Chain A
Amino acid sequence: MPPWDTKAPRPYRLHVQRLGLVWGLLILGLLALGFNLYHLQIHRAPALLEQARNQQMIYMRPYIPRRAIVDRAGNLLATDRLIFTLYAHPNQFKLSREAVADRLAAPLTQDTNQLLTRLNQRESGISVAANLSEEVADQIRALRLDGLELVRQYSRLYPQQELVSDVVGYVDLDHKGQAGLEYTQEKALERDVRTLQMSRAGNGALMPDYLPDGLLGFDDQRLQLTIDMRLQRVARSLLKQQVETYKAKRGAVIVMDVNDGALLALACEPTFDPNQYSQFDLKLFKNWAVTDLYEPGSTFKPINVAIALEAGVITGDESFYDAGQIKLETWEISNHDYKQVGGRGDLTIGEILSFSSNVAMVALINRLTPQQYHEALESLDLTQPLGIELPGAAAGQLKPLSSFLASPVEVATTAFGQGFSLTPLKLAQLHGAIANGGLLVTPHLVRGLVDEENSLAWEPEERPVKRVFSPETTETVRRKMGETIAAPGGDVVRIPGYQMGGKSGTSQKASPTGGYFSDLKIVSFVATLPLDSPQYLVLVVIDEPKGEDLFGSTVAAPLVKSVTEALIAIEGLPPTTP
């Protein structure tokens, strides 16, 4: 018992009214609160919930760019960057249009009056400026002006400009590939840009409560090509010079690793700058070395020799008679230098290739029956498109067997590389087969997807390889092509210390109306090195050069030599002879 209760407290009067009043007030407050609770939680709940969501939830698109494209050494050929488009809604301006125009003039580097006229166009949705960089966007944001809207977009940047444009292609405004690898490798390059729902705290900080798994752990893979940027640069600048010197219609340089078909350089001229593709002719967006057919001319002669050797109808040390000119049916077939030199008599295979004798070549091919020859040409997949990763790869054209059987002229013209057509890249593939021991490898540009450490994360499916010649046959043909370069006429491409095999080609261009143009030529030169165990192939094709002395050995060969020199230095090929 507490000590203070020892004495009874004095009774005091209870103020009932006051107590009742307090009680009433409390109950009233309770009821009011309860009512408000009901009102907020049940009656207005859906509307409030939505309002809260609108405030807290934001739709965010994290930075998931299209994959970059890099060369063999990891140099960037194409990458994504962010650009902004500025829209103005003058009906939401807190300031006058003049003031807004005045403040925008500096970051946009535009004239205030010009801006003002644009802002006066409409009440809302005026596109003020496009292609703004992130820095400019930051500056505009820092102005904290109402009624301005910055819309983020991805834009593709090709830092090397036109260097690899005919390989890489370009993407359009919707960020979709429209040419080259950007078009064919869309699947490997594109990543789905997910829109995320995220909640935002009162201070604007993002809250990760609704984050899906693996959102930010997107891989940093890039599409790696087999192209070597340094070699491509040399090839492109030299080709450009040569095309300009001879006022040629176009030209192409192909450098291929003969053992697996990897293309180290693939340059076509003229070309376009993919950063400003809209300013160029549509025709430039294709890679003509892959899409356009031409008659290879004498560069095809080594292939024909290989066909005859493979069929066993000739041996490597046989000779063939060159009369300088022969007549088949009503057609006269002569050597390119018949008027100056006349007939050369018996020629070895090496000499046939060296002098590029048409007549002896016809004699050589005539050892085969037309049927045999046609079959052999078919087996080279001349009429199949190449499996390269560029769009529009064309299949070669070969006359049907019936015309081979009907006219010996068809067989004869095919013997020196006319009357049928193929793409420059197909010719490179065929010469590659002679260089690598008889395998038809698939020319390709894509190495795969690589991660940050440059290790392959994804590789394309294994490319088909087909044997078309025996190693012995190709060895013989290679030796003969080596003799061509070692012969007096081969000094245009000879590089001291290096043994190469090569063949030039000059062909008249077929007219679309039938027959041939007498003045339009397409010249080419193909070289492989090192001769003992070839690793690389260089092919140059120049279409419609103009001027004097237009041959593969004069127009294309010097280019082959320069490109090969660069190739040797870049690849570090040691000389075979000191």
Chain B
Amino acid sequence: MIAVAHPLPSPQTSRPRRGPRSKRRQQAVPVAFRPEPAGKVIPHPTMQVANPNPLTIVPPAVAAPQTQPSPRPKPLAPPTAPFWLRTLLIIQRGSSILTFCLATAVLMVYGSTVYIQQAWSEEFRQLEQLQREKRELTTADELMKNQLAQRAAAPENGLVAPSPANTIFLPRATNQSVQSAPITPLLEVRPDAPLGY
């Protein structure tokens, strides 16, 4: 009766299993408790019943199911579940989506706390390294400045101290010269003149 609802296994795959299974059925022992010879697959209990039905009981006529249960589909067509059930179903669906989202969020937050700490630790190490490099560079720079200045002070280098004699003072440019400069009009580029060389 319910056999129709079960998917039909393909004959090729089910056929080799037939021999041992029919033997088992005669003994009527639940498959799960029986020791199985090595290398054999324990079939699922549903398959056990489903397999023989279409092949043994169901007659060859394909039209048989069409003629027999004609009035049945009609009462099933409008599946009117009670209101509370529908509400519960909606709540259940909603809450499972919510749960999924929350679980994802929790995982992300947890992951980020671990990640942020690690990232911080890495950045901190980098900060320390940079501080150290800065320290070393500034120190080296200033020491070099001092060294250069000391070397420059030696008379044999021929360097002289700054003085007005070696300084050039330029008079401030007056605005007049800027204004008096003639504004030359931009040259018009003739479109037919060759632009490249």
Contact = CB atoms under 8 A, between A and B. Distances in A.
A159 B142 contact: yes
B70 interface: no
A575 interface: yes
Contacts of B163: 562, 565-566, 568-569
Interface string A200-222: 01000111110000001000000
A157 B139 contact: yes
Given A163-B146, A201-B121, A566 B49 contact: no
B118 A205 contact: yes
Interface in A539-578: 562, 565-566, 568-570, 572, 574-575
A237 B117 contact: no
A380 B161 CA distance: 37
Interface residues of B, number: 40
B164 A2 contact: no
A12 B29 CA distance: 11
B179 interface: no
Nearest to B30: A9
Contacts of B124: 206, 208, 216
A498 interface: yes
Interface in A184-208: 201, 205-208
A422 to B, nearest CB: 30
B161 A201 contact: no
Contacts of A81: 135, 139
A569 B122 contact: no
B149 interface: yes
A571 to B, nearest CB: 10
Interface string A1-12: 011100101101
Contacts of A7: 28
A315 interface: no
Given A9-B30, A205-B121, A208-B117, A569 B166 contact: yes
B164 to A, nearest CB: 5
Interface string B140-153: 01110110010001
Given A207-B121, A208-B120, A566 B161 contact: yes
Interface stretch (B57-65, B89-97, B125-133, B182-190): B125-133
A575 B169 contact: yes
Nearest to A163: B146
A234 interface: yes
A544 B70 CA distance: 135
A377 interface: no
A35 interface: no
B165 interface: yes
A350 B164 CA distance: 27
Interface in B42-62: 45-46, 48-50
Nearest to A134: B132
Given A4-B45, A9-B30, A237-B153, A570 B117 contact: no
Q: Across the A-B interface, give the 5 residue pairs with the lowest CB-CB distance, nearest first.
A: A569-B162, A159-B142, A565-B163, A205-B121, A4-B45
Given A4-B49, A159-B145, 18 more contacts: A7-B28, A9-B30, A12-B33, A82-B135, A159-B139, A159-B146, A160-B146, A161-B146, A205-B122, A206-B120, A207-B117, A207-B121, A216-B124, A233-B149, A565-B161, A565-B162, A568-B164, A569-B162
